[in-house]
Each structure stands twice: as C-alpha cells, then as structure tokens.
Structure 1
C-alpha cells in the first residue's frame, strides 16, 4: 500500500545501518605489528626475565626539549629501532595488574589485566594493554635545561637512562593495601633521583613520582615529562571503518570556562599546523583502546604543556604527552614530581572518580545521546538483578512502557487500516490507470476515516535509536564485556553460539507482520515477505545482547498490538 512506503524506506535505511555497523566489526583498525593478543601474552610469560629493547633508539628524538628545540624534535628521524644497552625486567603483581618495568628508562613496558581475560575460552590469559613488543609503552622522565648548549644528559634521567633496583620481583601481599617500587638513578655528582611507583589494592591507578635530591653544589633546573608512545593504526579496506570503536590518542582540558574532550588523528601528528602544543591546567592525556585505556593524569591544579610528536622510522611512532614548567632546585634541597597513571578498563564509575572527564573515554560517538541513558538504565537494573541479560530485558520493558501510548496510536491506525483494507483495495482498482486520481482519492479517504498513513512508522522510529544506542553500549562498555545471562549465554557482547536468539527474532518478526495490514502492492509484498529472512541472517553475527533486546521488543510489540486490536478497537 502507498501508506507503507515510508515504513519500507525506513526499514531499508535500518538494514543499511546494520550492514554498515557489521562491516565495521569485520574491518576494525589494527596495529601494524602482526602479533596477536594470544601470542603476545604467551611470549610475555615465556620471556619475562628478558628485557625488551624494541622502543630504544640512540638518537633520543623522543625526549621533549625546551620550546626552542621543539621543532627540531619533530623532524629528526629515528633511524635505530634498538639500543644495545640491556636493562633488567622488574615484575610486579597486584590484585588488578601484572606489570613489567625495565630498569632502562624505569618505564612500564608491559601491563596485563588478570581480571580481564582475552576470552572466556582462555580465562588464564590476561588482556595486555601496554606492550613494548607491539610498540605501545608509557614513558616518563626528567630533562635538564641545557647550559650554553652543553650536553647535560648526566644531570637528569630521561627514559633512556638506566636505574637500579634492589629487587627483581614485587607482589602485593595479603593484608597489604599498598605496594611501593622504588628505582634509583645517581649521576655520581650529587644528583640522585628516585622514581617511585605506588600500587594500591583494588585500583588500576598507579602513583608515579620523581624525587630529585640535589647535593651537587649548583642549582638544578629542569622539568618532568610523561608520554604515551604508540605505533600507527591502519584501517582495512573501506572508509566505512571510521565508525568502529575509536583507537588512538585523546586529551582533556579546560578552556574559556568549558571542559573539552579532544580526539587526535594520527595523520595530523606530522602536520606542524595540527600538532598539539598547548598549556593546560589539570586535564589528562590518553591512548584509547577497545574497552581499555591508558592515561597520564597530572596534578589537577598544575599547568602542563601538552604536546604530540611524530617519530619517523621503519616502524613510525606517535607520542602524546605533557611536561611541567621548569623547576629550579637549590643545592641541598629536593623536589618531588607527582603524577597518576591509569592503565585498565573503561569502567565509567572508576574513571569518573579519578579525574574530570576521564569517563568520556567511554566513547559512544554520535550515539551518546541514546547510549548514555540506556547504560544508566542497564546499570540500575543490573544493581537489582546482578545480571546484564535480565537488565537488557527490563530496559526493553521500560522503554516499551514509556512509549506505550505513542505506539498505541500507531497500532490503532494500523488496525483501522487493516479493517478498511477491502475498501482501499477497491479504490485502488478503480483508479489503477490514473495514479494522480488514485493518490487524491486515497488522501481524501484517509481524511474522512481519520487515518494517519504514516502511523506505522512510529514503532520503528522508536526502535532504531534504542537499537543504535544499545549497539554502542555493547561495543564500548567494558561492564558488558564477557557478561553472562543464562544457559549457554556466557558473553552477551558476542554472537549467540547456537543462533537461537536470531532464529527467534526472525520468527517473531514474521508473526508481527501477520498482525499488520496486508500489502496491496505485489512488489512490497515480496520485499516484506523476505525481510524476516534477511534480518535473521544479519542478526546471526550481532552481539547476543542486541538480539535479545530485539526479540523481547518484538514479543512486547505483538502483545501490545494484540491487546489494542482485541480489547480496545473491537470494543468500540
């Protein structure tokens, strides 16, 4: 029927969206290093005593300089991928983190999350976030201001300096809430730096300090820097892959009375006009991954210069970081630089408590307006039932109740059209050779019978934003990663292993069509007959949680439509 054309077009647009989003999943951005998560974890476990030197280079172009040297930093080429200096690996285990620190640089070169396995099939293999073997590491250090152009590298430990440690293994013991790992650097001329990592039970936030003691007989002048270094991320095949969960650098700042969350493009790092070079009070700098994030968090009352740097090499690197203003330490005095470093899941409640805006790394993109209230509802019901599957069902029920009366108006209109279908068919036959007369007669018929020909679109219009919002909640919210429901549904964020829900979805869609007015146009009839099959095939590959929503929504819609048809309209 003519009045069903908008619904048909809307359905086709929705199909296009599903094809589009599924394409994203198949063409996700991947680091150019071909190592897999599984092999990375296995290699890390087998080779833990060995120090990795992948990110070392002799040219030191990845060390931030004073402002006068900043331009030089961005154009020098990193021609050496390894350095022959061999550090030692320090292993740290807490209840939340498995960390490896290399004494060369004193930096975290490996960070794994034992509470977040890479898959349910391999529960003992932790997800790895930082891994220098995959060109992803957190670096920090001190840099001394140059004196008349002289080399002052022995006055401050950059991330190319070598520290000493009294132990090679640390573990957070039962009954302890804090674990401190100190590293010592001494230039033998009165400058001693203690780089101190502080781990606390139940958190992924690490305290990082650089304590400078100056007994050199001269004033020490320098600054602290903290940065994240990442290999480039490439996209496979299509411009469509831009809708995949964002992977890359981001920062947060306060400017003109407003907080800003900014994502950076790797492609802009080599553009002098687009490079980050900005003084920011508080804020943070981060690298985002799917479900996980690492971020440097300075003292929030401190002003830092945020910067980005491109390091050309056989494997290029992109750096986002921040550095303090110059600090002068008189001889006989000391000073401690204090920071926070977060490496862990994008748990929204935890991130929000750590720093302003850090929860924005849970990036729902343009669908945030739908995803955020849906997640809030999901979390509320999860607190009641302790199960994300039941939470999805009750969110669906809540949305259905909220939109009951708007949907009821639509279903009434559709039911009335179904009753009047014979008259409309007769009218179409009478004017079948005159499209304009047919259209005019149909509009007059709608007016006389008080029918809204677009009423059938409303249930779909309501469903589409909820579908998109829930899709991105499942894509981005680590709380739903590997979340079980019942029976064989061990992970609602992946496809149904036995395809039961997609088949139920197709069957419910077919039954729902039987409650709608019959199609008069033969072409539309054929298209609508095939839609349940097409949707079923598409939904085979979607997260089980998303299909669960659709099945429950279809069942509730059929119940609502039956009630309206049999209890309201028939009683009039």
Structure 2
C-alpha cells in the first residue's frame, strides 16, 4: 500500500505545484520597481509613452516618391512575412510561415497584428531634439522603391530601405535586414546630417499591445505578458498588471525587452555595448515595453548608424541565445530552469537521432528513470524493511495503547535497533519531484512539440489525445502498478480511495497534452519493469512477501 500512497503523494504534489504556479501569476506579490515619471522632451513628446501617430503634412518638393501614410510594405522571406507601415516604419504584422495557426492548415500563425479588436506591433524610431519621430507634425512618412520585397532564390539576405528627408535636408534611412531561416531582424537607422548644426537624436524601440488579460488553465498555466533582462536581472517577467501598476525604469548595459506568449516571443534587442534605458508604460488602452538607447550627437556633414534588432518568432533556444544574452530564458522553465534546460538539450539530442519527438520523449523517459533507478531501488527496499516491522509495530500499539509519547519512543528504538529509516520510502520521491516538474516544463514549453506527430492518431503532441487512448493506457498502467505492489493492513476507506486513484488520474490526464501523457505512461511502464526486477531480488533475500 505504501507504493500506492507514494503515487498519491506525487499526484498531490504535482497538482499543488500547478495550482501554486497559477495563483502566483494571478495573485502573487509583484516585483518592486522604481516608478518612472513620464519625462517631456524638448519637442513636447512623452518619452515613455506612445509616439504621436498622426500623419505629417509633407509638401517638400524633394520627396518625389512620397509614400502614402497608410501604405503597407510587405516583406517576405522563407520563414517570415512582415508588413511595415510607411508611417513610422513600424512592423504592424508578422506571419510565421513555418508555423501554421492550426494543424493541417495552410494559414500561418500571426504573431504581430493591428486590427480594431487587438493591436500588437513593434515600433521604433528616433526621438530627441532633432528626431523625426518627435516632430510636432507627427511621425515621418517613409518612401520606398516598392511596396513588396521578397527574398530571392539563392540569396541569403534581404535588405529593405525606407527613406525620409526632413525639412532641413537631413536624410534618414531605416534599414530592415532579414536573413534566410532567421527570425532575428536587424533594424538600423542611417542618419546623414546635411544641416549646419549638430543633430541630437535618440533611438527608441518598443512593443505596443492592447491592454487585455489573457486566460490560462491549471493544466496549461502558460504566461502571456512582458519580460526584460538587464545587468542585475538575467530574466524577469513583467506582466500587464505590473506595467499598469508601476512603470519599469532601469538603466543597464545591453539588456532587452520582450512580450511573450506560449511558444512565441517578440523582443527588441539593443546594442549590447550601449547603456540603455528599459521602460514600460500604459495608457489609452495599451501597454508598452521598450528601451531608449543613449543620446547621439551627429556633427554637420557627418553620418552615423544607430543599430537595433528585433526577434519576432518562435522560442527557439539555440538561435535566441545567439541573438542576445539570456533571451533563451523566455522559454519559461520557472525556477527549475537549471534542470529543465539540460533535459531539453537531451530531448533535442534524441530527436536528432530518431527524428520523431514522441520517440525522443520515450527515450528521455527511459534515460531519466534509469538514472533514478538507485533511488527507486532504495525506496522499495526501505518499504520492504518497514513492512517486515509491521508485526512488531502492532505489538507496540497493543503494549502502549493511546500513550503516544511512549509509542513514539518505542518506535524510534525499534527503528534504531533494526537499522531502518522511516523516511527511506519518501525521501527518494522528494528527490525525484524537481526532475519530474522540470521535465514537465521542458515538454510544456518546447515549441518543437507544437503540431509534432508521434504515430497513428497522435498527430500533435502539444494537444490532448483526440481519442483519449493515451490517458486510458496511463490509467491501466497505474492499475497494474497497484496490483504489483504489496499490500498491508490499511484503513478500509483509504484502501477504497487508493483503488480509485487510477480512475482519478485518468480523468485528470484527459486534457493534458499528448506528449506529457506519453511521458507519464512510459514512466509507469518503466516503473512496472523496475518493480518486477526489484521485487524478484527482494524475494530472493526474503524481504518481500506478497
């Protein structure tokens, strides 16, 4: 019965962990951040807020190819389809061509969008005294040579140049550089000072999203909101509630700001060598996460390039780590990331060999259970020794009756005499729990499992089994584990509860992603194999009697 009880402990700890995670997200204490008051620049714009979006009225005769303010520029590579607004040069739409919105769909997943119901865009520009985005006339309207750009076959790079000339003749070129197979987009500003005085400019980049709370479930408690990284903070979430409560205001070398959701993330990545100001803000139904680069002074007849980078795509850990320091931590493994990351790497290693994520899950299950076999053996051996003491324990109860103090003293003397650790059956389980939780998050957060088939009816490991076959098999495996486990005298009510545990777990797992259920099922199968081996050895030593 101890084995069934231990399974119950694991289940309760696991469910409690999920409930705690969801409670922390909704009601837990929020990080204390210095409130940043909105500062007004010399041009009258609010530096921490949304840049004015009204169209400029440009009648300059030099702008012979002026682009209409509402015009969109389409940029397509092998993995991205972006739409860039001619006004301001903001990315107002991002389609991930390699990630369909649904399984077997030809329609790509839309990460950035701008429509009447929801806005999620990536903005960037130049503010400061001479910044075109800080003009009282509104943001600049860029001119382009074409409304559509596409990465050519045989080419690995696509550069889209947006040009603007202010009333003083200063030339601003906003370059978008996209690379084949990459979700990291370089967004640079080339400034040419044609005036007789210094230009004072400051690059800003921010993510703008509709102020909207997103629901989550206990089974899939995924996070959607802001995040940032700085010198003092490797990675920290900054939710919509945090943004509305207190503005982020942190000065750091490098760093980044992001808005993330399950499987996907958008992040602005400043120059790592610059001292940048990370900020957040809210207002008019929107929330913002952004950064401002250092103020730049450009002498007359001189040029300068202000650089930034935009990650817009799936949470691909290796590529994100190469793009910016700690950006891969947006694959949110929680506080057990130091265990989950090696497990993920092991999972991807197995996939590189077998080419099937379901088989990779099976292999990592065998690996983890194999590494934990000494703990499992110690657990069952300790349980067997405790079982042999049951007659002596019953004698102590009969001897001392309701005298709990003497009963406790007698039990401790018995444990010491027989060299038995009463916690020996539970301690291995407690050691295994962090590994199990870390593996749970590894499977939960891996975008590679999204729409990944296993075989037969399992065509997507990231969603529930459509026919509930895996949860039922998991329940059957739990039933056999119960049958194999030795029984002892127990309370009848407790025995009935234990008998229903496979049913309870089966119902609970009906809504779990198929990949997680597959892991639990295979874990139970390995447990059955290990039980058989351990009990046969114990029977030879006379420690196990059914």
- Decide whether the 8 Å contact of 2:133 with 2:139 is kept in 1: no
Q: Deviations for 1:444-489, whole angstroms, at most 9, x for unmatched residues?
A: 6555554444333355435433332122112222122222222222
Deviation at 1:81, TM superposition (A): 10
- Separation of aligned partners in 2, 1:320 and 1:22: 24
Partner of 1:171: 150
Q: CA RMSD in A?
A: 3.6
Aligned residue among 282, 301, 326 for 1:357: 326
After superposition, give the CA deviation of every residue in 1:102-143 in whole Å (9 maximum; x if it has no partner).
112111100010101122142x11111111222111111112
**Corresponding residue number in structure 1 for 2:519:** 549
Which structure 2 residues correspond to residues 387-402 of structure 1 after superposition, within 5 A?
387-402=356-371
Give TM-score, length-normalised by structure 1.
0.80
In the aligned structure 2, how far is the partner of 1:400 from the partner of 1:299? Answer: 44
Q: How far does the alpha carbon of each residue in 1:478-510 deviate from its partner, in whole angstroms, 9 at most, with x for none?
A: 122222222222222211122122111111111
Aligned-residue offset at 1:349: 0.4
Aligned to 1:473, the other structure's residue is in SS state helix
| CA contact 1:304–1:322 (8 Å) conserved in 2 | yes
Equivalent in the alignment of 1:560: 530
CA drift at 1:536: 0.8
Question: Is it true that 1:310 corresponds to 2:282 in the alignment?
Answer: yes
SS in 2 for 1:389: helix
Conservation of the 8 A alpha-carbon contact between 1:208 and 1:340:
yes
| Residue of structure 2 equivalent to 1:17 | 16
Which residue among 58, 66, 77 is the counterpart of 2:41? 66
**1:355-504 correspondence runs (5 A):** 355-416=324-385, 423=391, 427=395, 430=398, 434=402, 436=404, 446=415, 449-458=418-427, 460-504=429-473
Partner of 2:227: 250
Report whether the alignment pairs 1:112 with 2:95: yes
Structure 2: distance between partners of 1:74 and 1:530: 57
Partner of 1:45: none
Aligned residue among 238, 249, 252 for 1:264: 238
Note if contact 1:519-1:525 (Cα within 8 Å) is conserved in structure 2.
Answer: no
- 1:441 CA displacement: 6.1
Q: Does 1:103 align with 2:78?
A: no
Q: Is the contact between residue 190 and residue 216 of structure 1 (CA under 8 Å) also seen in structure 2?
A: yes
The separation in 2 between residues aligned to 1:176 and 1:547, in whole angstroms, is 43
SS of the aligned residue for 1:234 comes to coil
1:219-368 pair list within 5 angstroms: 219-234=198-213, 236=215, 244-255=221-232, 260-271=234-245, 274-311=246-283, 313=284, 316-368=285-337
Q: Distance in 1 between matches of 2:54 and 2:387?
A: 72
1:260 positional shift: 2.8
What is the SS of the residue equivalent to 1:373?
helix
Counterparts of 1:116-131 in structure 2, within 5 Å, are 116-122=99-105, 124-131=106-113
Work out the number of aligned pairs and report it. 517
Which residue is equivalent to 1:141?
Answer: 125
Q: Is the 8 A contact 1:155 1:187 kept in 2?
A: no
Please give the alpha-carbon distance, in whole angstroms, between the structure 2 residues aligned to 1:324 and 1:378: 39
1:216 aligned partner: 195
- List alignment gaps of at least 5 residues for structure 1: 28-62, 147-151
Contact 1:181 1:197 (8 Å CA) reproduced:
yes
- What SS does the aligned partner of 1:260 have? coil
Equivalence for 2:62:
none
CA 1:263–1:157: 2 relative to 1, 3 Å: farther
1:526 to 474, 479, 496: 496
Do the aligned residues in 1 keep the contact of 2:55 with 2:137 (CA within 8 Å)? no
Residue pair 1:427, 1:438 contacting (<8 A) in 2 also: no
Give the CA deviation at 1:430: 4.7
Q: Give distance in 1, aligned partners of 2:237 and 2:495.
A: 46
Q: Output one character per residue of 1:305-335: Cα deviation in whole Å (capped at 9) or x when no partner.
A: 2222222x2xx11112222222222332222
Corresponding residue number in structure 1 for 2:163: 184
Cα shift at 1:237: 9.3
Distance in 2 separating the partners of 1:496 and 1:180: 44
Gaps of 5+ in 2: 27-37, 58-67
Give CA-to-partner distance per residue, 1:528-555, whole Å, 9 cap, x none.
Answer: 1111110111111111121112121212
1:301 Cα deviation from its structure 2 partner: 1.4
Residue deviations 1:231-280 (CA, integer Å, cap 9, x gap): 22425599x79x9322222222225xxx6323223334355xx4223332
Q: Secondary structure at the match of 1:142?
A: strand
TM-score, normalised to structure 2's length? 0.84
Instruction: Tell me whether 215-224 or 332-341 shows the greater mean CA deviation.
Output: 215-224
